[in-house]
Amino acid sequence: MRRLLLILPLLIIVSTANAQRFRVGFMAGVTINDVSGADLVDADNDFKKPGFTIGGLVNSKIGNTTQLQMEIAFIERGSAVLPDSTNNNLYYNLNLNYIDVSVLIRQPVHLAINKKMSDKYGLLIGGTYGTLISYSYTVQSNPMPIDLNNFDASAFIGFYYNFTPKFFIDLRYSNSIIPAIKRDASTSTFYPYFNSWNRGDNMSFEIRLGFIFGTSSDIGGSQPAAPAPAGGN
């Protein structure tokens, strides 16, 4: 049943793409992550946990230039502190693996470059609902228990650049609305910083490369009116 719940959003996206002439594509990239308050030494956010993401997308115009995009992706998040004599070797590694379903708006921004207008740049904003599919947590290489939420909800902002009409890169910053680590008595004892705002939340910087099949004429939207029939009585 759990696998069905993970696959169902992808099936809905693909069937919608076929019915509505959406453009379909794929993307992959790297992530730099942290969980606010998880640092065992000073609770700062160092973003030392790397990861990767891969998934598929569909998009369509919802205005003259604005696009609505839906994505489903696997993504690695988490937090880490590397072994270091300056921190008394209080190193740890928290791996969090999610299946994310995202909805976002892509809005082109027209910029004048070398006295020529360019529409290759744009802004994006959206939200993500993620399901935790696996995790591991070790402190000084020893497995440790941790009280996690099974779901993640995040908001993100970013910008993109279109190398071609089909090939793009985007950069995003996301922050959880639902914390990855539960804010309860047990975590407050081990992590005293989890009682304040944003503590225990996933935070990620993501760089993604993507490819979209088809051309702009394949994207749904307003169509020119059909010509009137030839005159006659």
Q: Which pLDDT tens digit goes with each residue over 25-39?
A: 999 999 999 998 777
Structure confidence at residue 220 (pLDDT) = 45
What's this model's pTM, rounded to 2 decimal places? 0.78
Q: Which pLDDT tens digit goes with each residue over 86-112?
A: 666 678 899 999 999 999 999 998 776
Beta strands in 82-184 (DSSP E): 92-113, 116-139, 142-143, 151-162, 167-176
Structure confidence at residue 160 (pLDDT) = 96
Q: How many domains does the chain have?
A: 1
61 falls within a domain: yes
Over residues 44-48, the mean pLDDT reads 81
Domain that holds residue 75: 2-17+27-218
Q: Is the pLDDT of residue 56 over 50?
A: yes
Q: Which pLDDT tens digit goes with each residue over 76-85?
A: 999 998 877 6
223 falls within a domain: no
45 falls within a domain: yes
Q: Are 183 and 191 spatial neighbours (Cβ–Cβ below 8 Å)?
A: no
Q: Which of 119, 127, 123 is nearest to 164 (CA)?
A: 119
CA distances (Å), 232 to each of 27, 153, 225, 226, 227, in order?
54, 61, 20, 17, 15
Query: Where does residue 186 fall: left (phi above 0), alpha (psi -120 to 50 degrees), or beta otherwise?
Result: alpha
Structure confidence at residue 1 (pLDDT) = 46
Q: Is the pLDDT of residue 232 over 90?
A: no
Between these two residues, 193 and 45, which has the higher pLDDT value?
Answer: 45
Q: Is the pLDDT of residue 192 over 70?
A: no
189 falls within a domain: yes
Torsion of CA 22, 26, 161, 157, to 10 degrees: 90
Q: Are 97 and 132 spatial neighbours (Cβ–Cβ below 8 Å)?
A: yes
Sign of CA dihedral 203, 209, 213, 217: positive
d(CA 121, CA 106): 10
Over residues 216-231, the mean pLDDT reads 49
Query: Where does residue 59 fall: left (phi above 0), alpha (psi -120 to 50 degrees), or beta otherwise?
Result: beta
Q: Is the pLDDT of residue 223 over 50?
A: no
232 falls within a domain: no
162 falls within a domain: yes
Computed over every residue of the chain, the mean pLDDT equals 80
Q: Which pLDDT tens digit goes with each residue over 149-162?
A: 999 999 999 999 99
d(CA 54, CA 28): 4
CATH number, residue 73? 2.40.160.20
55 falls within a domain: yes
Structure confidence at residue 226 (pLDDT) = 45
Q: What's the number of CA atoms in the CB half-sphere (13 Å) around residue 6?
A: 14
Q: At residue 27, what is the residue type?
A: M
d(CA 170, CA 158): 7
186 falls within a domain: yes
